[in-house]
Structure 1
């Protein structure tokens, strides 16, 4: 008989990350209803403090409605560059402390401590890591320790803010049992509504439904939900590598000095890999532009930026880098654009200066590209001259 080794997976989540960073910059915000997002009525809420949440405010809510629910709220437009800086700081602290971790988003981490209980005690090690993050960053952070990623994440969400939870080995199913099915990762609004119509209100009831029935009802997702309802999750902690990248290059059929053509090509290339970022639900924190002259001399220039996947922001950075690179006024043979420092995430609610209209525009553009191909729609600036 092969025994499954006991895993020890800690989930760390920075409490109201954007708000907490703002509070570090201005201590007067502490204890107040704070909203981060677009300042106009057409903007959306990117994040809010727990005090604001008590008024019913939540992320992605229209700012006009949020103001109506809490007129006394303090509104900050948000500074993604500053938030990215603190995200990298916390990442460095964790990387220097643990042997294996996964950066699940800009403010969320999984740490694999399997086997370390023999030497340090996983619970003590996790608690000490929390203290270290708070000491070195000044940011509040929650954690939960469990036998897998699923349960540790749910436990963190249940204990926030300032969570310090531990779900003992073998207690995963009983911990999940009394919780609402809506709290199960992977259960969206439509699935939750369907289950509630069936009378399935808790994870305990979900776990008692035959797996064949859930498979017939929800397909592969139903089988996955059944395993999760049993407290089972074999998903590994994926090691975080800062150097993962998405890139594209173009070698011109004829070397060119036509700036209009070069700029248009940069726009098309940036749109192409920015769409790939959004398709993979990733954000980039570093942009590199590569240029090869006709004599084969190759130069590159990069810039660390606030995490984003928005075309209009990335195109601006790419254009700046190209203008700084192109100094010789020689014929150009090749152009390249590369995004690195990739993290999981969704840029839509991070567009602090953007309106609901712009968020919806990106959704529409991506939908068209997904259905008909990425070249079907693009910016006019990306069109070839005289085309």
Structure 2
């Protein structure tokens, strides 16, 4: 039996952070706007298309960006609003899509394979895009193709605020005229090596024998040859099955000692925060679980601004604990869980003293990686005292 034709849509909110800033302040519309950190040591998170015309791009040092575009308006960012709009778009997609993956705070893959029996996948994606724009007023682009790689490249070609369908069988024709560094993973070193081989465009790759590419570039050469043919086997991972990060502790002796319980709570929250950062994720939801000696188990969760920072996770965990705990009753088990995980931890950290915070957590995690997870802990975890 023949496999159904694959259809994958990739949807990406255009200059998401800037778009949210413009909605909150319409006077910014049509102007060069940069969202990111401080003028001296910050990094560009995203920028408007008006700023891009001057060569500004994401991950660029803010100082350089302002040299290129000195008249740009610098927005420090309102992260709570970004979280709210991201969830809004996610909810719209979840209500319509048979299977979708939230790749980051502003990026989604939708698997429409087999659905062409019931509707035109292209028209369905157009209708979904129109609904998102109508409800949220956010610009969004999409690409539709037979796999994730082509769909993402199609989205890039469709921007700003457009859409593009690469029909089945047209993958090689679509890719051939593009520069070879259009493929993710082709950095400066690889790009220079390919140019020395006479490979400037993706179509040039297929002029070579695959064995020659493997000799020159190793396994990456084989992978590049497959990509140039438009082949990619990545699957859409259901957002509803996204993994959570959790930890729990069953105490040797039941305890109603508030000081002890809060110390344990902080220790466990630090632990899941560390795991979160190691996975390069953000979390948008934290939950607390309490089990009593009679095995009665209660839990409570709350949505939070997407973060990976202990100094945001710990207060949320403590607040939930105080809401949930039946004061004076001994506790048998305590647990902490992070869910609503998404990528782009760096972006999510750009708005609250980014340089200090990034350097701080990198230093802390480097110590933990070298000497063990308990090598550094909050003072309240290892010393007695009120929280």
Same fold at TM > 0.5: yes
SS at match of 1:286: strand
1:292 aligns to what?
Answer: 291
Structure 1 partner of 2:338: 339
Where does residue 155 of structure 1 map in the other structure? Answer: 154
Structure 1: 5+ residue stretches without partners: none
Q: 1:350 aligned to 348, 351, 355, which one?
A: 348
Q: Which residue of 2 aligns with 1:324?
A: 323
What is the 5 A alignment of 1:169-318?
A: 169-216=168-215, 218-241=217-240, 244-294=243-293, 296-318=295-317
Which residue is 1:47 aligned to?
46
Is residue 282–residue 348 contact of structure 2 (8 Å, CA) maintained in 1?
no
Report Cα offsets for 1:202-237 as digits up to 9, x if no partner. 222234444344445555444333211210012222
Aligned pair in 2 of structure 1 residues 371, 161: CA closer, same or farther (>3 Å)?
farther
What per-residue deviation string (whole Å, max 9, x for no partner) do you get for residues 272-331 of structure 1? 222222333332111011223455443322211112222222122112222333451344
Deviates more, 1:375-384 or 1:175-184: 375-384
Give yes or no for contact 2:286–2:316 (8 Å, CA) kept in 1.
yes
Compared with structure 1, are the counterparts of its residues 53 and 289 closer, same or farther at alpha carbon in structure 2 (3 Å cutoff)? same
Contact 1:310 1:347 in 2 (8 A): no
Asked if the contact 2:4/2:114 (under 8 Å) is kept, the reply is no
Q: CA deviation at 1:18?
A: 1.0
1:119-164 CA distance string (max 9 Å, x none): 3222222211111111111111101111111101011112211121
Question: Structure 1 residues 165-174 or 347-356, which shifts more?
Answer: 347-356
Change (3 A) 1:377 1:60: farther
Q: Which one is further off, 356-365 or 300-309?
A: 356-365
Query: What's the counterpart of residue 116 of structure 2?
Result: 117
Q: Distance in 2 between matches of 1:156 and 1:183?
A: 12
Q: How far, CA to CA, are the matches of 1:152 and 1:31 in structure 2?
A: 28
Superposition deviation, residue 377 in structure 1: 3.9
Cα 1:21–1:242, aligned 2, differ >3 Å: closer, same or farther? farther
Q: Greater shift after overlay, 23-32 or 174-183?
A: 174-183
The CA distance in 1 between the partners of 2:220 and 2:265, in whole Å, is 40
Greater mean deviation of Cα atoms: 356-365 or 69-78: 356-365
3-state SS of 1:32 partner: coil
TM norm structure 2: 0.89
Gaps of 5+ in 2: none
Measured on the aligned residues, the alpha-carbon RMSD in Å equals 2.6
- Counterpart CA distance in 2 for 1:364 and 1:220 is 34
Q: Aligned equivalents of 2:270 and 2:211: distance in 1? A: 43
Larger RCO of the pair (alpha carbons < 8 Å, separation 6+): 1
Distance 2:137 2:12 in 1: 14
Report the Cα offset of residue 258 of structure 1. Answer: 4.3
The alignment of Structure 1 onto Structure 2 pairs a total of residues equal to 384
Q: TM-score, normalised by structure 1?
A: 0.89
CA distance in 2, matches of 1:202, 1:275: 41
